Structure formats: C-alpha cells, structure tokens
Amino acid sequence: MAGNRLKVAALQAPFGTDIDENIKTVTALVRAAAGDGAQVILPPELFQGPYFCKTQEEHWFETAYPALEHPCVTALQPLAAELGVAIPVSIFEKDGPCYYNSLVMLDADGAALGVYRKSHIPDGPGYQEKYYFRPGDTGFKVWPTKHGRIGVGICWDQWFPEAARAMAMMGADVLMYPTAIGSEPHDDSLDTAARWRRAMQGHAVSNVIPVVAANRVGDENGQVFYGTSFIADHTGGVVADLGRAETGHISAEFDLDFLNRHRAAWGFFRDRRPEFYR
C-alpha cells in the first residue's frame, strides 16, 4: 500500500480453448493495469478456458490441476513478483478425487498466500456447476497482501450478503468477485446484468467497502457473457466500469484510513444483532 491508499483493478476479456493464449491475454492486461498504478488486479473467473459448466461433459475434468501446480498460477507468480502486484487467480482445482472452483491468492512477491474454494455452487440452465465442483470447504478468506486486506468470493458467492458480511467482519479493505455470467439459455428475455451489479453495490453500501467485479465477454457457442465489469466505492456508486463487449481494464484508488473511520461512524458493525439472525 502506498501510504494509506490502495489502487485496485478489474480485467475483462473473452477467452477461448487455448490456455496459453488466455494466459497471454491476462498477462497483457495485468501489465497494462500495473502500468496505471494498480496494486491488486482481478482477472475474471476460470479464465483458463471457455466457461465449460453450461453442459455436463466429463472430458473437462482433465483440465483441472492441483492448486499450486495450475498453469495459470505458475505463469502469473513471476509476473506478480516482477510488477509488485497481488493477483487473485481463479482456477479449476483438482485435489485427489475432489474438484473445486477455486482461487489462489498471489501476493506482490509472487508467493501463494493460500486457496479459497467457492462456497456457493450454482446449478441451473447454462450454469451446471454442481456436476463439476464440490462445495468449498475452506470457509471465506481475507488475504493480508502487501497492499491491503483483500476478501475474494467467486461468482455465485457474490449474490449472498452473508459472504460479503463475513469477509468484512474479517477485516477486508476491499471485496473482489471474479465472475463468468451472461445470457440465460432457458430464457432469452432474461438479462441479469443490472441486478448482478445492484446485488454487489448493496454489499458495498451495507459494509461501507469498495467492491470490484471482473466478468468475461464474448459469445461461447450461443452463451453470451455480458461483461459490464465495474468498481463500486463504499457508497455503492460505480466509479469505473466497462461495456458489454470491451476488452480492457479499469482501476480506482481508495483511501483506507478514511474508509476505516467512515465504516466505524456508520455503526453497521456496532449495531449488529447476530443473536437474532439465526
């Protein structure tokens, strides 16, 4: 952290079947975001390849790796160290006979701080993740990176206020959500982009905390990912965003000392009544 300030970034891009090309895409965007001064840089969910969970096909299990051996992790570790940036890396993880939708948090020296496994696993048309992933067993995580305390949930986690509150209670300075979301195959008229944003903007308001969401774009065999990646400040206001088809990065800087004071002044954590929430 530069003094008491933290600059974060979100990346947005389409991804294909070639993992090496996808890593090159993310690498170029990380470099661009770091060039703008970003210190913690968020790529989208499962950028290793296409979003394979829209159907149930067993060959995709071959694309999972142990967390610290995953090609996306081993490729971005030296980049994080070179640029001095922290990178939450979304992966398809294999742990013995178990498979997870996971994230490895890389610190600004390239060190892996640990693994978070997605807690909430969706199962619906076009998003059949329960076929591939076990529910996460790590609990929520807040990572003490060299630039700040980063809480990260994965896609479907972003809809649950309990996840955001848990990470805020653990002392997160910012919440980040790598995502793969777009069209709904069962209903062409359903566009969730606005409510997707509003859910996370609500987390920002209720926890007085910035929120960063990174989505993919592109048409993957009829499933169109709608981008609209954004950064919201502690009021829920969108301070940076991308369109539905753009490839690029966005960034925003926050004063962490101010946010800590302001969070205390609002009293959300002082006035909680968890004995009534069960």
Per residue in 24-50, pLDDT (tens digit) is 999 999 999 999 999 999 999 999 999
By C-alpha distance, which of 65, 33, 60 is closest to 49?
60
pLDDT at 262: 96
Q: What are 51-109's pLDDT values in tens digits?
A: 999 999 999 999 999 999 999 999 999 999 999 999 999 999 999 999 999 999 999 99
Which CB contacts under 8 angstroms, 24+ apart, belong to 182-185? 182/215, 182/216, 182/223, 182/224, 182/225, 182/226, 183/126, 183/222, 183/223, 183/224, 183/225, 183/226, 184/125, 184/126, 185/54, 185/125, 185/126, 185/222, 185/223
β-bridge pairing 174-178 and 211-214: parallel
**Model-level pTM?**
0.97
Contact between 5 and 256 under an 8 Å Cβ cutoff? The reply is yes
Distance CA 112, CA 86 (A): 10
Catalytic residues: 45, 118, 155
H/E segment holding residue 149 = strand 148-152
Give the confidence band of 3 by pLDDT, cuts at 50, 70, 90. Answer: low
